[in-house]
Homo-oligomer: A and B are copies of this chain.
């Protein structure tokens, strides 16, 4: 076994455009996320090499975007997943960040639920109105 050989199987990697296609983003966007510190792919020559770790982070990024978070906010959020090596003061900070975010998410949860109630009521009204006009086909 040659020195420095990988212990685990060779990890699967992705190019930037593979990631772009998978997540329906442009390479530009993915590079932008790197500029903002959300991704840190290694380089092979000058080319970026992404691993399944970047894949996972991109999934979290997309979820954050669907939730309306800013890129900076998503970065903070991603940092929460990197708890391993933190010291106690940093830990306290992370804990507060996590709890803040939980609070706003619980507000968002209520907002979504209420909006769904509203919209379904509207939907009912419209369907009703169309029914009275006998225009409910299609």
Main secondary structure, interface of A, reads: helix
Number of interface residues of A (CB under 8 A): 39
Minimal beta-carbon separation of A111 from chain B (angstroms): 5
Known A-B contacts A88-B130, A88-B135, A129-B83; the reply to A123 vs B109 at CB < 8 A is no
In the assembled complex, how far is the CB of residue A76 from the closest CB belonging to chain B, in whole angstroms? Answer: 12
- When distances are taken between beta carbons in the complex, the residues of chain B under 8 Å from A94 are 122, 126
A36 at interface, CB cutoff 8 A: no
* Interface residue ranges, A against B (CB under 8 Å): 63, 66-69, 80-81, 83, 88, 91-92, 94-95, 98-99, 101-102, 105-109, 111-116, 119-120, 122-123, 125-127, 129-130, 133, 135
